[in-house]
Amino acid sequence: MTQSKVTIRDVAARAGVSTTTVSHVLNDVPGKRILDSTRVRVRQVATELRYTPNRLAQGLRLQRSHTIGFLSDEIATTPFAGNMVRGAQDAAGEFDSLLLLLNSGRDEGLESKEIGALLDRQVDGIVYASMYHRVLTPPAALEASRSVLLDVRSHVPLLPSVVPDEVGGAVTAVTELLSVGHRRIGFINNVDDIPATHGRLAGYRQALTAQQLPLEPQLVIAAGHDAPSGYRAATALLARSDRPTAIFCFNDQVAMGAYQAAQQLELDIPKDLSIVGFDDLTLISEGLRPGLTTVALPHYEMGRWAIHTLMALIDAIGSVPAEQVALPCPLVRRASVSSPPRL
Amino acid sequence: MTQSKVTIRDVAARAGVSTTTVSHVLNDVPGKRILDSTRVRVRQVATELRYTPNRLAQGLRLQRSHTIGFLSDEIATTPFAGNMVRGAQDAAGEFDSLLLLLNSGRDEGLESKEIGALLDRQVDGIVYASMYHRVLTPPAALEASRSVLLDVRSHVPLLPSVVPDEVGGAVTAVTELLSVGHRRIGFINNVDDIPATHGRLAGYRQALTAQQLPLEPQLVIAAGHDAPSGYRAATALLARSDRPTAIFCFNDQVAMGAYQAAQQLELDIPKDLSIVGFDDLTLISEGLRPGLTTVALPHYEMGRWAIHTLMALIDAIGSVPAEQVALPCPLVRRASVSSPPRL
């Protein structure tokens, strides 16, 4: 076998794994549950065959447009979105590909037209992205191309998708409070019927249950997702005679409002009240005084995952399983958590 | 003359104006200083000749790729950037064109390579964008395409460019404070050598001068552009025996820090201290309590202007003057300004 003829399929066959696994291992795609022994074997085979991911990009894609469509509901208009685009762009660059970025403004007619325009331009594949974690039915027109869902989970799981692990993120946030001794932890949740609302509540419950603590319904408030809502909800929680010693907030904006409520009541953060947010919007989490402990959305990693998975899909001759991945939300410690006050 | 042969040049010739002016008038491009009489004449001629901007897009661009390159230093990674991209995308849509979005991460080598990739894909033109207002020398490779600068002003004004009117925005902000009676107005400025720093200081000075007030150097502090810097600078300003009754902040993040300083000193906003920001980052300006009065960056309008001007450039047979436009920063009133306290 001459060096120039080595393909990803050769590596996959020799290693006894799928081409997707080879791509994931060699590209260090985050969030993959691949055994270390498999990783070692794939790398060994790739070395033996003198196969490199770079050759994958150069060799297998000669017939391609090197253009990937990135179709989003509302691109780049929120501070949340940016890192998904950046992750996708960086990953596309590794494959010598460019992103053709389009946004539909959630207009289904426009969406179909835009998918058509992308296909006219012979994109190698399409990333269908949402600017926040949603569950929906992707447009049928996507079936005409290789496609991956980004921050979207499909009602019908036919396409690979990546979303943040909302439940795990909430477990992380609440466990941080439990670990320093808090037992009365309030939760200001969102009211929208979206995965973040349900997942973060499930995680809050899970973390309490793991410590044999009951969920006390009077400590959970459903509010909006902005700072004024957080202010009102926190004010209500803190007015209780049995007020919580810590508050887990649906997001950093709600936490900003909780800070304002604490200030109004002359409660010191974190001495009198600990607060944990969600999202790690640095504009807020670094801007608040004291800095906000929160969990970060893995937007950059999700953007990378989408492109790497799309590339694996493009390379695959046979079918690739429609994996549904949830990437972890890591804790970002700042200064809003301490032990509860002695009552 | 048959209807199908009417071009933008016919309209321009009959109206006695440039094709650029015709395009600007018919597309309602913001920020153009075009006499009302000219606007009326152009529209009359267009109607007489049965010429419409839509035909402009459909007729003149048949030979084109309907793709515009949008090359940015750090796209979509800041909350500031989004509306420029959105404005450009919306305007591109009016011309049935798509944006091919690339970011260079301020790497000159990568930038040249990306311009080459855009030219390979036969883009009709390139928008060269920065995510904050900068003065620089655009890459020479841009000369191979029609190009417009967005939030960038060139050292050598060979290309059309659009930036925010930093001076005018600061005049607007400070005049808002002067108009309710403030006479001792502090200014927390940035220290970076960028147009925003210089322009906002010039505007602060201009607004004071217009009221025959001197600029008191001890009321101007050069700080960083984040909330912790704003906190420190505002604390210093407010510790003075002759402290200001109002503070104009370089941006909304600095204003967030100024709120924290006021809180620490138990000063009520706006009763004891009025604050005005800059940028209108709604995450902050709407999230602060009370809501922050600020001036908005015209990012959306700038994005639109860039595309409309690029299209005029593409349509023009002769040369188009390299206009340098500064769009106004409008005041957004919320609740952080009132009359000064009686001393």
Tell me which of A66, A84, A100, A101 to substitute to probe the interface with B (most B C-beta atoms closer than 10 Å). A101
Task: Give residue A2's pLDDT band: very low, low, confident or very high (50, 70, 90).
Answer: very low
Residue B9 pLDDT exceeds 90 = no
Residue B219 pLDDT exceeds 80 = yes
Mean pLDDT of chain A: 88
* Alpha carbon separation from A258 to A90, A255, A275 (Å, rounded): 36, 5, 8
Between A169 and B134, the more confident residue is: A169
Asked whether the beta carbons of residue A103 and residue B89 sit closer than 8 angstroms, the reply is yes
Q: Can you give the pLDDT at residue B225?
A: 94
Q: Can you give the pLDDT at residue A1?
A: 37
Q: What is the pLDDT of residues B18-30, one digit of tens each?
A: 888 887 887 766 6
Asked whether the beta carbons of residue A67 and residue B121 sit closer than 8 angstroms, the reply is yes
Mean pLDDT of chain B: 88
Burial grade of A72 (CB within 10 A; 0-12, 13-18, 19 or more)? buried
Q: Can you give the pLDDT at residue A189?
A: 98
Residue B55 pLDDT exceeds 50 = no
Between B190 and A35, the more confident residue is: B190
Residue B56 pLDDT exceeds 60 = no
SS3 B33: coil
Contacts of A114 (CB under 8 A, 6+ apart): A71, A102, A104
- Are B63 and B46 a contacting pair, CB within 8 Å? no
Q: What is the pLDDT of residues B193-211, one digit of tens each?
A: 999 999 999 999 999 999 9
Residue A237 pLDDT exceeds 70 = yes
Q: Can you give the pLDDT at residue A31?
A: 66
Copy the structure tokens of residue B272.
């004891």
Cα-Cα-Cα-Cα dihedral sign, residues B82, B84, B87, B93: negative
Tell me which of A78, A80, A98, A99 to substitute to probe the interface with B (most B C-beta atoms closer than 10 Å). A98
Between A117 and A277, the more confident residue is: A277
Q: What is the pLDDT of residues B63-112, one digit of tens each?
A: 688 889 999 887 655 666 678 888 998 899 899 888 888 877 778 888 88
Average pLDDT over residues A191-213: 97
**Closest CA–CA distance from residue A103 to any residue of chain B (Å):** 8
Q: Can you give the pLDDT at residue A55?
A: 39
Cα-Cα-Cα-Cα dihedral sign, residues A246, A252, B294, B221: positive
Between A157 and A333, the more confident residue is: A333
Q: Can you give the pLDDT at residue A155?
A: 83
Q: Can you give the pLDDT at residue B57?
A: 46
Between B170 and A28, the more confident residue is: B170
User: Within 10 Å of residue B218's Cβ, how many Cβ atoms?
Assistant: 10
> How much is the pTM?
0.82
Average pLDDT over residues B232-261: 97
Is A265's Cβ below 8 Å from some Cβ in B? no
Residue B163 pLDDT exceeds 60 = yes
Is A119's Cβ below 8 Å from some Cβ in B? no
State which amino acid sits at residue A18.
S
Residue A56 pLDDT exceeds 70 = no
For B66, phi then psi, to 5°, come to: 55, 35
As beta bridge partners, residue B150 has B129, B162
Average pLDDT over residues B222-245: 96
Asked whether the beta carbons of residue B102 and residue A99 sit closer than 8 angstroms, the reply is yes
Q: Can you give the pLDDT at residue B146?
A: 92
Between A320 and B139, the more confident residue is: B139
Between B54 and A21, the more confident residue is: A21
Residue A63 pLDDT exceeds 80 = no
Q: Which residues in B lie closer than 8 A to residue A283 (C-beta atoms)?
A: 79, 253, 281, 283-284
Is A67's Cβ below 8 Å from some Cβ in B? yes
Asked whether the beta carbons of residue B284 and residue A288 sit closer than 8 angstroms, the reply is no
Burial grade of A211 (CB within 10 A; 0-12, 13-18, 19 or more)? exposed
- Are B203 and B169 a contacting pair, CB within 8 Å? yes
Q: What is the pLDDT of residues A256-305, one digit of tens each?
A: 999 999 999 999 999 999 999 999 999 999 999 999 999 999 999 999 99
Average pLDDT over residues B262-267: 96
Is B86's Cβ below 8 Å from some Cβ in A? yes
Task: Give residue A181's pLDDT band: very low, low, confident or very high (50, 70, 90).
Answer: very high
Q: Which residues in A lie closer than 8 A to residue B77 (C-beta atoms)?
A: 82-83, 85-86
Selected residues 130-189 of chain B with any CB under 8 Å from a CB in chain A: none
Task: Give residue B52's pLDDT band: very low, low, confident or very high (50, 70, 90).
Answer: low
Is A231's Cβ below 8 Å from some Cβ in B? yes
Asked whether the beta carbons of residue B99 and residue A103 sit closer than 8 angstroms, the reply is no
Chain A's closest residue to B262, CA to CA, is A263
State which amino acid sits at residue B154.
S
As beta bridge partners, residue B164 has B327
Q: What is the pLDDT of residues B297-309, one digit of tens each?
A: 999 999 999 999 9
- Give the C-alpha separation, A294 to A281, whole Å: 9
Q: Can you give the pLDDT at residue B1?
A: 37
Tell me the CB-side half-sphere exposure of residue B89, using CA atoms within 13 A: 23
Q: Can you give the pLDDT at residue B2?
A: 39
Asked whether the beta carbons of residue A289 and residue B67 sit closer than 8 angstroms, the reply is no
**Closest CA–CA distance from residue B335 to any residue of chain A (Å):** 14
**Closest CA–CA distance from residue B310 to any residue of chain A (Å):** 19
Is B335's Cβ below 8 Å from some Cβ in A? no
ipTM of this predicted structure:
0.80
